[in-house]
């Protein structure tokens, strides 16, 4: 959804994000839409040439479910193109673009429909995909779709959030079962957004608040994925007692890490702040019995323009925590990167190089501490449609020109290559 464009091509249906952009254009920076994205649907061969030229050995991309069976012809060619270039295809099966006809994730038949789509994908791509991720960041889908209401379906209701989250987890387990039944060759997992929770106070109540926050932000979906049940105390508190019929194990855990969360005790309703504009924070309130409060970092750490704290240590802490909590479970950093206000033309991005270098060092320390980290994937290959931020918040190794959509390798792209290969700049001209 973020890169492809061609949202009407080859029978693609609308997703809840297409509807949201049409119905609430003013909620998105500069009224941007996923059209044209990066026009990747048509320029994919050039993009795969870039991937090879920049020395990547893996490429994570998401299937657009609203493209249906015909869309799989496109992904079939894409996967072949990756294999021909010696790049491992890593597939995310759901990245927030629920087909509109299914309504929302509260609808239990959405999980069954997802499982059917997974079977189709497995049949078409199962012989070549190296890693499958069922869902991208279910916690973020729920937090923004049903708690803050900032993303579609723009609901603000905690009990509906838990209901929709449960259907997402059903979809995850059903999807894994379908991949296994199809006998796909790749490893099976999920990409979860995880934030180490840092305690901002010194009292016992603050420490307890931090544990609650960890339970809801991280463990809720972690435990549903790994153990097929929700964390007991947290589930009891919110009256959730659902379980899963046929929970499936994962072969690896995808970790998306951007920043930690600071938490303290408070008797008030929990406030959640999100800066979606690079200007000011949206403040959303929800009640979790006044158990915890998200607060600003008490430390004078550096932040991005979107108030995302830059904390590489958080990545080491997180990976070691996963290693301790789920011993033996292979880990993969499936997203990490920095969003900057760039123009899509300039190649100078020293801040990104510093960010990635510090985070790679954190991965190194986690490996030294025994965490079984199998890979590191940067967000993102190219600047793209960054949800509410439209095209103003850029994450790419490749700059994408706002009008011509021409790709230009940023300094970070060559630097990233040099980390893994000597003499990164090729003699040949760029594609």
What mask of x and - would describe binding to ligand FCB in positions 92 to 131, judged by CB under 6 A? ----------------------------------------
The answer to whether residue 335 forms part of the interface with ligand FCB (CB under 6 A) is: yes
Closest separation in Å from C-beta 369 to ligand FCB:
26
Binding mask 393-422 for ligand FCB (x = CB under 6 A): --x---------------------------
- Residue 74 CB coordination number (10 Å): 21
Closer by beta carbon to ligand FCB, 53 or else 139? 139
351 by DSSP, 3-state: which? helix
Binding segment for ligand FCB (CB under 6 A), chosen from 29-37, 111-119, 173-181, 379-387, is 379-387
- Which residues have a Cβ under 8 Å from the Cβ of 322 and sit 6 or more positions away? 194, 253, 255, 329, 331, 371
Interaction between residue 259 and ligand FCB (CB under 6 A): no
Find the helix packing angle between 350-368 and 312-325, rounded to 10°. Answer: 30
227 touching ligand FCB, by CB under 6 A: no
- Contact call for residue 141 and ligand FCB (CB under 6 A): no
Which whole-number Å values give the CA distances from 285 to 198, 273, 274, 407, in the listed order?
20, 8, 11, 40
Does residue number 387 form part of the binding site for ligand FCB (CB under 6 A)? yes
Please, are residues 374 and 14 in contact by the beta-carbon 8 Å criterion?
A: no
136 touches ligand FCB by CB under 6 A: yes
Task: Single out the residue of 193, 218, 266, 276 in contact with ligand FCB (rule: CB under 6 A).
Answer: 193
Q: How many residues bind ligand FCB (CB under 6 A)?
A: 12
Residue 355 binds ligand FCB, judged by CB under 6 A: no
Is residue 286 within the footprint of ligand FCB (CB under 6 A)? Answer: no
Secondary structure E strands in 265-362 = 270-275, 281-286, 293-295, 331-335, 340-341
The rounded Cα 335 to chain-centroid distance in angstroms is 6
Question: Among this protein's residues, is 316 annotated catalytic?
Answer: no
Out of 4, 316, 335, 342, the active site residue is: 335
Q: What is the 3-state secondary structure (H, E, C) of 113-177?
A: HHHHHHHHHHHHHCCCCCEEEEEECHHHHHHHHHHCCCCCCCCCCHHHHHHHHHHHHHHHHHHHH
Measured between alpha carbons, how far is 210 from 208 in angstroms, rounded to an integer?
5
Residue least distant from ligand FCB (Cβ): 137
Shortest distance (Å) from residue 183 CB to ligand FCB: 29
Q: Closest by alpha carbon to 395, among 288, 259, 258?
A: 258
User: Site residues for ligand FCB, window 1-60 (CB under 6 A)?
Assistant: 2
**Per CB under 6 A, 140 contacts ligand FCB:** yes
Does the protein bind ligand FCB through residue 311 (CB under 6 A)? no
Closest to ligand FCB by CB, 61 vs 212, is 61
Give the list of residues 6+ apart from residue 92 with CB closer than 8 angstroms, or none: 60, 61, 62, 63, 133, 135, 136, 191
Nearer of residues 188 and 340 to ligand FCB, judged by Cβ: 340
- Measured from the CB atom, is 201 or 339 closer to ligand FCB? 339
The stretch near ligand FCB (CB under 6 A) out of 11-19, 134-142, 409-417, 418-426 is 134-142
Instruction: Say whether 137 is catalytic.
Output: yes
- Taking the complex as a whole, the smallest distance from the CB of residue 423 to ligand FCB amounts, in Å, to 31
Q: Does 137 bind ligand FCB (CB under 6 A)?
A: yes
**Is residue 321 classed exposed, middle or buried when 0-12, 13-18 and 19+ CB atoms within 10 A define those classes?**
middle
Cβ contact 81:45 at 8 Å: yes
Out of 4, 106, 137, 316, pick the active-site residue.
137
Residues that bind ligand FCB in the complex, under the rule CB under 6 A: 2, 136-137, 140, 193, 256, 335, 339, 379, 386-387, 395
Residue positions annotated with a catalytic role: 137, 335
């Amino acid at each position: 959804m973020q890169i492809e464009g061609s949202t009407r091509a080859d029978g693609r249906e609308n997703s809840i994000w297409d509807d949201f952009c049409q119905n609430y254009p003013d909620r998105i920076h500069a009224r941007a839409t996923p059209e044209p994205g990066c026009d990747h649907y048509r320029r994919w061969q050039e993009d795969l040439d870039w991937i090879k030229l920049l020395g990547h050995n893996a490429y994570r991309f998401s299937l657009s479910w609203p493209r249906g069976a015909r869309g799989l012809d496109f992904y079939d060619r894409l996967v072949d193109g990756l294999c021909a270039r010696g790049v491992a295809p890593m597939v995310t099966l759901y990245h927030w673009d629920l087909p509109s006809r299914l309504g929302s994730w509260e609808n239990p038949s959405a999980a069954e429909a997802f499982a059917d789509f997974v079977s189709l994908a497995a049949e078409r791509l199962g012989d070549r995909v190296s890693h499958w991720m069922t869902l991208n960041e279910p916690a973020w889908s729920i937090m923004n779709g049903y708690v803050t209401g900032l993303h579609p379906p723009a609901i603000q209701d905690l009990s509906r959030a838990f209901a929709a989250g449960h259907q997402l987890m059903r979809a995850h387990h059903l999807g894994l079962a379908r991949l296994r039944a199809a006998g796909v060759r790749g490893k099976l997992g999920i990409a979860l957004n995880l934030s180490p929770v840092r305690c901002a106070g010194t009292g016992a109540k603050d420490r307890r608040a931090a544990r609650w926050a960890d339970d809801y932000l991280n463990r809720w979906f972690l435990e549903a994925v790994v153990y097929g049940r929700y964390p007991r105390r947290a589930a009891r508190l919110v009256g959730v007692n659902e379980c899963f019929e046929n929970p499936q194990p994962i072969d690896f855990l995808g970790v998306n890490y951007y920043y930690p969360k600071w938490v303290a005790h408070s008797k008030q309703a929990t406030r959640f702040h999100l800066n979606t504009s690079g200007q000011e924070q949206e403040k959303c309130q929800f009640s979790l019995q006044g158990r915890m409060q998200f607060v600003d970092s008490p430390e004078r750490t550096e932040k991005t323009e979107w108030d995302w704290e830059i904390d590489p240590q958080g990545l080491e802490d997180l990976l070691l925590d996963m290693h301790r909590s789920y011993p033996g479970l292979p880990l993969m950093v499936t997203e990490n990167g920095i969003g900057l206000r760039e123009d899509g033309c300039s190649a100078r991005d020293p801040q990104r190089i510093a960010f990635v270098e510090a985070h790679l060092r954190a991965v190194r320390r986690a490996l030294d501490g025994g965490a079984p980290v199998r890979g590191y994937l940067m967000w993102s290959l190219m600047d793209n449609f960054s949800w509410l931020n439209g095209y103003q918040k850029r994450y790419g190794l490749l700059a994408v020109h706002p009008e011509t959509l021409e790709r230009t390798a940023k300094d970070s792209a060559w630097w990233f290559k040099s980390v893994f290969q000597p003499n990164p700049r090729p003699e040949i001209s760029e594609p």
